[in-house]
Amino acid sequence: MPVDPKETLSCDLLVLGSGIAGLRGAIEAAGAGWDVLVVTKDHPRESNTEYAQGGIAVALSEGDDPEAHLHDTLEAGDGLCDERAVRVLVEDGRERVRELIRWGAEFDRQDGELHYTREAAHGRNRILHSQGDATGRELERALTVRAATQERIRTLPFHTGIRLASDGSRCLGAWILDEADDRPVAVKARAVLLATGGLGRLFRESTNPAVATGDGMAMAIEAGLTMANLEFVQFHPTALFLKGAPRFLLSESLRGEGAYLRNADGQRFMEKYHPMGELAPRDVVSRAITSEIKATGGRPVTLDMTHLDPGFIAGRFPMIHSTCLQFGLDISREPIPVSPAAHYMMGGVETDTEGRTSLAGVYAAGEVACTGVHGANRLASNSLLEGLVFGTRASRAALGESPPLGAGGSFPPPELPACSDLDRTNRLRRRIAEVMWNGVGIIREAGGLRAARLELEGMRRELGRGCLHRRVLETANMALLGDAMAASAMYRTESRGAHYREDYPSPDDLTWRRPTRLRREHDRLSFLEG
């Protein structure tokens, strides 16, 4: 039997997610006089933003300009970027970063001036960083402090999104789960901003925190919103690969500052895969590492910084240096064992440049959204900038076009039972991660994708729509979203950017230089042309 709802809340803007996109959207709406409710399923600062190391890309340094940033972004996106969205990113981004600095965000400086570094596929030094390798943490801190000054922002931690609610033509709010007693809460809102982040935990190897289970994307699929480019997952080439250690991200900035990749025989290998060597695009580096590991009988690849000054390493990368020391590895004296891991989703809920989705009243920003900025492969350090820019724009759009609260009808509670046995859920969750890593991972082909879909569809049937428990809801979301990703990867019969098909190794511009667009209709996934 369905569980009775616990209570009903109301607000002008409901923000699902407390990373950079959600907080920036909340601040914008509250500043305009709206009551904002920020819902997050863990501590407010537990998000992919908090773990972003490398920095934030912005064309503010002397000799740089938005056109150069646009060019590099389009090149990395491998023909699939929406140039209008990229132009918004690189132009609006300058003011958004200046604004953050005015709000107290502290970036590293050299001789009193902002210090810019370079990462893969950038033609110029344009990456701002904080405390060396803790940029995301600093931006999350600055935005959290700013949000705390806004009386109209309420934060609701340890609540999980269940379903979007609509009257068929417009979103009316959402159902969320209070994890304290596993009861549903109705939230009526003039508008909903999806800012739930990414989905790295769908894969066995991931740099993402445990909260990154793709919930917002799954909620959007469930509600029939149009999704785009779900096959394009970026696998970060260098995650720490030590027994007993988490797959801690080893920032691209390490290679930007001169670290070498070496195979198990101690040889540098990147120049035979790409003329930019260690600074090649991430998908190239990930496949190269995978190939070298295979060619040397499964022995690991290492990232070598031992030729650099130890004091520079400790000062420039204090978080990476100290974390590796916790696991007995001094990166200034020993090469670091590394392996690729799922890191970032280029696709997601399809939006326009104002964050609007295909359902009126629902907006999306940050990693959950597909704005068209990243195309087939995200340019390094564009993600934090995207969250700032489009979180702001989505909130402004909602302010200008949302009807008064209560203009729509009521919505019934979700038809979900209470939960009892979680052993099956934990088993299925582990299996989903294995299936996605093996069948929908770095190198794909039709047989593996087909097998992945069959198994994921079976797990979807076993899980149903979940029940009123966070872990079960997450696992049901993972199965639904994983199936949609595998279907998208099967549909795109070419290789482009981060999507590599072993059976279709070349790009096909004539057929596929367009987004992959998908929608769930009558419990079936349908692809949209045009």
Residues forming the active site: 282
- Cβ partners under 8 Å of residue 357, min gap 6: 194, 220, 225, 226, 349, 350, 351, 363, 364
Q: Which amino acid is at 417?
A: P
Q: Which amino acid is at 262?
A: R
Q: Which helix (H) or strand (E) holds 528?
A: strand 524-528
Question: Of the candidates 232, 186, 303, which has an alpha carbon nearest to the alpha carbon of residue 77?
Answer: 232
Phi, psi for residue 178 in degrees, rounded to 5 = -80, 110
User: To 10 degrees, the CA torsion angle through 247, 250, 252, 258?
Assistant: -140
Strand, coil or helix: 444: strand
Please say whether the beta carbons of 497 and 489 come within 8 A.
no
Question: How far is Cα 500 from Cα 503, in angstroms, rounded to an integer?
Answer: 9
Question: How far is Cα 332 from Cα 474, in angstroms, rounded to an integer?
Answer: 39
Phi, psi for residue 301 in degrees, rounded to 5 = -90, 155
Six token digits for residue 257: 């500052």
What is the separation, in whole angstroms, between the first and last Cα of the chain? 43
Tell me the pairing of strands 127-128 and 56-57: antiparallel
Alpha-carbon separation of residue 232 from 32, 374, 444, 479, 487 (angstroms):
36, 10, 12, 17, 12
Question: How far is Cα 53 from Cα 414, in angstroms, rounded to an integer?
Answer: 38
Six token digits for residue 39: 């819902």
CA 456 to chain centre: 22
Strand, coil or helix: 146: helix
**Count of CB atoms within 10 A of residue 124's CB?**
16
Please say whether the beta carbons of 252 and 120 come within 8 A.
yes
- Cβ partners under 8 Å of residue 118, min gap 6: 124, 125, 126, 127, 256, 279
DSSP 149: T
